[in-house]
Amino acid sequence: MRIAWFLAAALAVLSTAVAAKPLKVVGPWEIAGIDPAQSGYVFSRLQVAETLVTADTSGRLVPALAAAWSVSDDGLVWRFTLRPDAVFHDGTPVTAEAATASLERARAGVGVLTQVPIAGIAGDGRDVVIRLDEPFAALPAYLVNFSAIILAPSSYDDAGKVSRIVGSGPYKVKNLTPPLKLELEASRSWWGGEPGIAEVSYLAVGQGETRALMAESGEADLVFSMLPVSVERLRRNSKLDVQIATIPRTRILKVNAGSPFFDDVKVRQAVSQAIDRAGIAKVILRNPDLAATQLFPPALAGWHVPDLAPLGRDLEAAKRLLAEAGWKPGSDGILERDGRRFSVTLLTYANWPELPPIATALQAQLREVGIEVKVSVGNSSEIPSRHRDGTLEMGLVSRLYSIVPDPIGTLLQDYGPGGSDWGAMGWSNEELPALVGRLVGMSDPGARAPLQRRAVEILQQELPSIPVTWSELAIVASKRVTGVKVDPLEVNYGLAAIRWAE
């Protein structure tokens, strides 16, 4: 009898030990400050905190904390009805007041909500009511952004700062050691049920090579953002599953269309025709399909226009266009016009490791048509900084079009009047801002389609920024786990649905 007891106890201990084995997740993102505008994406992706609305992997908006939403006929009053069973990790219910407080804070801060013409936010029973100054059909898409996560009142200190993350997702924070480590456990009160694995441990690993080694050594179950050079090797590993998704992120050449070098659209088109996108995509990104033949990748339905004449390489046409714009080769082969050499600085940054090598490839390719490029690798803040003081000539940037799941958000920011830090510079066009302005107020996909198409055509023709390559996200999962899904929008990694393989 005693032995049976002992065995039972030992089994119980063993089984809890097995159940308590955490899902080890590794990604490149450090947790620099826990304010939602700063690291909200980590808490949203790892399902600690939730937004009112979320997006599925195809980009369709789906309910999260709000079970349903509606808009008044004049488009000015939005009503988001909270689901009745949502509870924060501290046991308090998710109320309209708590949601209102979180959203008000997001609106006063730095996130995307600052771009929405909000007149006021208020709680009304179980509804969060957002009043607008003018119709803004994309509002639900803006609420998907991580800066709009809903936190419990106990998350804030006396000064109103976020001092800890008390969310409502399937996982709650057990331990946070900024900037590198986050340990989570099942909240046991999530409206969506119990997660498949009770504990998750997230480690930020900045070095891509180390992340690959973590996957290979079996120390990590799920590793995000692999370098292209590692992907081939990892694919051959029989214990690992590599999944790849095209994400709405494009590497673009931001050019100062107000400078004497790029004010002529012919020169911008010539630069575009001098770029060997396929070569860059094949050699640096290891996937020739990533050559950006237009601004948006095929995965962005409604924004990718399949029958648009693709951007491609044509050196002779490029030289002809440059000659038409008045640029003639000088004695050393570098173009000149009115005594000015075509010599420009290309500014980029190393937050994405592939940007500097792409910049040097562009340097060599532009030299072939007589444009001298000096590559300068600096801090990412130098792009907005030099945009503001007008000294930027060219910048190679990696631009995300799903900051809100509807690219209209980024277009509104980047190609509005006067351009913006990461978008157009010194470029003036009246049609595009008007189009974007109309799109913002429209929600019917059928009615939006022709306008979206026209916007893409203008960008393709005018090239205020020159698309270079699209991007993909590579995720490596150990075959120990099942149920891993890649979210191209990187809103939510669906960890709660992951289970240990039998």
Partner 1 sequence: MRRFLLARLAQAGLVALVVGTLCFALMRVLPGDATMRIAAGRYGPDAMTGQAAEKVRLELGLDRPWPAQFLDWLENLVRFDLGHSLVTGAPVIEELKVQLGASLWLAAAALLISLAIGPVAGVLAGLRPNGWADRLGLATSVSLRAVPPFVLGLVLILVFAIWLGWLPPAGFGTTRDLVLPALTLALGLAAVSSRVTRDAVATVAKAPYFAFARHKGLPEAVVVRRHGLRNAAIPVVSYLGLQAIYLVEGVVVVESLFAYPGIGHALVHAIVERDIPMVQGTALAMGLIFVAVTACVDAASAWLDPRLRSAR
> CB of 126: closest distance to partner 1 in angstroms?
31
Closest CA to 398 of 361, 433, 432, 350: 350
HEC letters along 116-134: CCEEEEEEECCEEEEEECC
Q: Give the DSSP H or E segment for 385.
A: helix 382-388
33 or 298: whose CB is closer to partner 1?
33
Q: Which is nearer to partner 1, 179 or 279 (CB)?
A: 179
Please say which residue, 205 or 455, places its beta carbon nearer to partner 1. Answer: 205
Q: What is the 3-state secondary structure (H, E, C) of 142-195?
A: HCCCHHHCECCHHHECCCCCECCCCCCCCEEEEEEECCCEEEEEECCCCCCCCC
> Which C-beta is closer to partner 1: that of 179 or that of 483?
179
Beta carbon of residue 393, minimum distance to partner 1 (angstroms, whole number):
17
Write down the least CB distance from residue 202 to partner 1, Å: 11
Residues 6+ apart with CB under 8 A from 97: 123
Instruction: Write out the residues near partner 1 by the rule CB under 8 A.
Output: 32-35, 37-38, 109-112, 114, 147, 161, 177-181, 203-207, 209-210, 213-214, 216-219, 349, 351, 378-385, 387-388, 397-398, 400, 403, 413, 420-422
At its nearest, how many Å lie between partner 1 and the CB of residue 177?
A: 6
- Closest separation in Å from C-beta 108 to partner 1: 9
CB of 172 to partner 1, least distance (A): 19
Q: Is 174 or 337 the residue whose CB approaches partner 1 more closely?
A: 174
Beta carbon nearer to partner 1, 190 or 349: 349
Q: Closer to partner 1 at the Cβ: 51 or 413?
A: 413
Nearest approach, Cβ of residue 390 and partner 1 (Å): 12
d(CA 490, CA 413): 20
User: Nearest approach, Cβ of 103 to partner 1 (angstroms)?
Assistant: 17
* CB closer to partner 1 out of 63 and 378: 378
> What's the CA gap between 128 and 126, in Å, rounded?
7
Q: How far is CA 462 from the centre of its chain?
A: 25
Residues in the chain, how many? Answer: 502
Q: Which is nearer to partner 1, 72 or 351 (CB)?
A: 351
Long-range contacts of 403-407 (CB under 8 A, 24+ apart): 403/112, 403/145, 404/112, 404/138, 404/141, 404/142, 404/144, 404/145, 405/55, 405/59, 405/61, 405/141, 405/144, 405/489, 405/491, 406/138, 406/141, 407/248, 407/296, 407/300, 407/303
- Smallest separation, CB 34 to partner 1 (Å): 8
Asked if residues 288 and 269 have their Cβ atoms less than 8 Å apart, the reply is no
